[in-house]
């Protein structure tokens, strides 16, 4: 059955389809609709409207340890607060999904306007080194599909996976037929609490015993965990590449920005990463090799451009779309000026 729903609602439906049975969050624009949908499912799932963002992610960690697929959702200001929990989930290797519906920052910024300003925060927001899987859909149907993939990736990598949206996509309504969408689900990978004698800690630990002064073990542990996430991420390389044989310029755009620049496919090649991190090295390199110029169009001041530039080791141009409003005409004009 076809229904008209918005991106946020599709995320909630996707989470339910993925088998999520624990959700905790704190209200925030423009992410609250995810909460609204899930609050009505209180008979089917454990739903907590928590006292703050920090509590909600830590509740989700507890619930995941206790055997449930768990999720929390927020926007930029809340994402900053959740970084503590993201680090803990990385250290304790807890599967979890965190949804960040981006709005214009820093700080309270422009709460109702969309942005893509949390790209770096999503990958590197918590302190210390860790490897994050970050997905970013660009249509309502994809919000549903990639919420499910985020849960699968979380289970397979035993790590907190971040699903990015922007305020535009979150509130974009589209007609979708979700029930008939084929999906595959990953089973739980973590034995629930109540086994008898395991110790989960935010400290560096080996078999539950802290090893806080063992530099050699840290290196061994770090390599194992990094490799584990990178291996799992191999199965989650999502992108869309529209190659235009006449084009000399490749536009890289993601999320709502990809939707806006889509009409430019007759003049340019378009590459849309859905898997933002770990960066799609082979795919982006291959696309870049066939073009003279590479431009990243994004609603921030070149955050992903920096990542692409680092990958390609060549100059990558940037068209930052700032302040929460986006127009195809303006982007087209700035492309001509490059």
Partner 1 sequence: MNYKDYIRWERMPTTWCPGCAIGTIFKQLTFALADKGLRQEELVLVSGIGCSGRAAGYFNVDSVHATHGRPIAVAEGIKRANDRLKVIVFSGDGDLVGIGGNHLLHASRRDVDLTVICVNNGIYGMTGGQMAPTTPVGLKTLTSPFGNSYQPLNIQGIITANKRHWFARTSTYHLPGLQKALRGALDWKGFAFIEVMAFCIENSGRRIGFRNGYEMLLKLKQDYKIPLNPEAPLKENELGVMKNDGQTS
What is the distance between the alpha carbons of residues 243 and 290, in angstroms, rounded to a whole number? Answer: 9
Q: 125 to each of 23, 119, 121, how far by Cα in Å?
A: 22, 9, 4
19 closest CA partner among 63, 79, 77:
63
For residue 263, state whether it binds partner 1 (rule: CB under 8 A): no
Range in contact with partner 1 (rule: CB under 8 A) among 189-197, 263-271, 274-282, 297-305: 189-197
Range in contact with partner 1 (rule: CB under 8 A) among 18-26, 179-187, 245-253, 320-328: 18-26
What is the distance between the alpha carbons of residues 273 and 258, in angstroms, rounded to a whole number? Answer: 9
What's the order of all strands across the beta sheet hosting 293-298?
239-242, 269-273, 249-252, 293-298, 317-320
Task: Give the shortest CB-206-to-partner 1 separation in angstroms.
Answer: 12
For residue 158, state whether it binds partner 1 (rule: CB under 8 A): no
What is the distance between the alpha carbons of residues 338 and 335, in angstroms, rounded to a whole number? Answer: 5
Task: Give the shortest CB-208-to-partner 1 separation in angstroms.
Answer: 7
Range in contact with partner 1 (rule: CB under 8 A) among 86-94, 235-243, 296-304, 320-328: 86-94
Task: Give the shortest CB-228-to-partner 1 separation in angstroms.
Answer: 21
For residue 63, state whether it binds partner 1 (rule: CB under 8 A): yes
What is the distance between the alpha carbons of residues 315 and 295, in angstroms, rounded to a whole number? Answer: 9
Among 36, 188, 198, 219, binds partner 1 (CB under 8 A): 198
Judge whether 63 and 49 are in contact, CB under 8 Å: no
Q: In this complex, which beta carbon is closest to partner 1, that of residue 64 or of residue 300?
A: 64
Judge whether 247 and 294 are in contact, CB under 8 Å: no
Q: 74 to each of 32, 40, 77, 78, 204, how far by Cα in Å?
A: 8, 18, 8, 6, 28
For residue 61, state whether it binds partner 1 (rule: CB under 8 A): yes
Range in contact with partner 1 (rule: CB under 8 A) among 32-40, 64-72, 105-113, 241-249: 64-72
Number of chain residues interacting with partner 1 (CB under 8 A): 43
What is the distance between the alpha carbons of residues 239 and 298, in angstroms, rounded to a whole number? Answer: 16
For residue 204, state whether it binds partner 1 (rule: CB under 8 A): no
Judge whether 260 and 240 are in contact, CB under 8 Å: no
For residue 88, state whether it binds partner 1 (rule: CB under 8 A): yes
47 closest CA partner among 73, 28, 29:
73
Q: In this complex, which beta carbon is closest to partner 1, that of residue 201 or of residue 231?
A: 201
For residue 84, state whether it binds partner 1 (rule: CB under 8 A): yes
For residue 81, state whether it binds partner 1 (rule: CB under 8 A): no
For residue 68, state whether it binds partner 1 (rule: CB under 8 A): yes
Q: In this complex, which beta carbon is closest to partner 1, that of residue 82 or of residue 171?
A: 82
Range in contact with partner 1 (rule: CB under 8 A) among 19-27, 227-235, 271-279, 290-298: 19-27
**3-class secondary structure, 102:** strand
What is the distance between the alpha carbons of residues 51 and 70, in angstroms, rounded to a whole number? Answer: 17
Range in contact with partner 1 (rule: CB under 8 A) among 81-89, 269-277, 288-296, 298-306: 81-89
Could you give the angle at which helices 303-312 and 281-289 cross, rounded to 10 degrees? 80
Among 106, 128, 182, 196, binds partner 1 (CB under 8 A): 196
What residue ranges bind partner 1 (CB under 8 A)?
21-22, 24, 46, 48, 50-52, 54-56, 58-68, 70, 84-85, 87-88, 92, 192-203, 208-210
């Amino acid at each position: 059955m076809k229904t008209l729903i918005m991106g946020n609602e599709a995320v909630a439906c996707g989470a339910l389809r993925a088998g999520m049975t624990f959700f905790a969050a704190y209200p925030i624009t423009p992410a609250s609709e995810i909460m609204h949908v899930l609050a009505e499912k209180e008979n089917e799932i454990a739903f907590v409207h928590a006292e703050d963002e920090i509590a909600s992610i830590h509740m989700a960690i507890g619930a995941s340890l206790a055997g449930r697929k768990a999720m929390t959702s927020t926007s930029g200001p809340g994402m900053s607060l959740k970084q503590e929990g993201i680090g803990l989930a990385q250290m304790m290797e807890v599967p979890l999904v965190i949804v960040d519906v981006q709005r214009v920052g820093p700080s309270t910024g422009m709460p109702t306007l969309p942005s893509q300003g949390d790209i770096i925060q999503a990958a590197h927001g918590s302190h210390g080194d860790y490897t994050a899987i970050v997905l970013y859909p660009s249509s309502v149907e994809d919000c549903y599909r990639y919420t499910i993939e985020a849960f699968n990736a979380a289970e397979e990598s035993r790590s907190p996976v971040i699903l990015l949206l922007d305020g535009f996509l979150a509130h974009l309504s589209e007609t979708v037929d979700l029930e008939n969408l084929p999906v595959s689900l990953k089973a739980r990978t973590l034995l629930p609490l109540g086994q008898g004698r395991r110790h989960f800690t935010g400290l560096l630990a080996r078999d539950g015993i802290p090893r806080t002064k063992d530099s050699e073990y840290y290196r061994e542990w770090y390599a194992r965990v990094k490799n584990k996430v990178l291996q799992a991420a191999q199965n989650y390389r999502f992108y869309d590449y529209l190659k235009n044989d006449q084009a000399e310029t490749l536009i890289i755009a993601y999320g709502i920005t990809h939707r806006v620049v889509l009409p430019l496919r007759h003049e340019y090649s378009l590459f849309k990463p859905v898997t933002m991190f770990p960066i799609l090295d082979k795919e982006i390199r291959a696309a870049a090799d066939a073009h003279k110029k590479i431009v990243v169009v994004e609603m921030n001041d070149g955050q992903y451009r920096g990542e692409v530039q680092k990958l390609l080791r060549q100059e990558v141009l940037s068209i930052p779309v700032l302040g929460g409003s986006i127009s195809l005409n303006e982007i087209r004009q700035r492309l001509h000026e490059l």
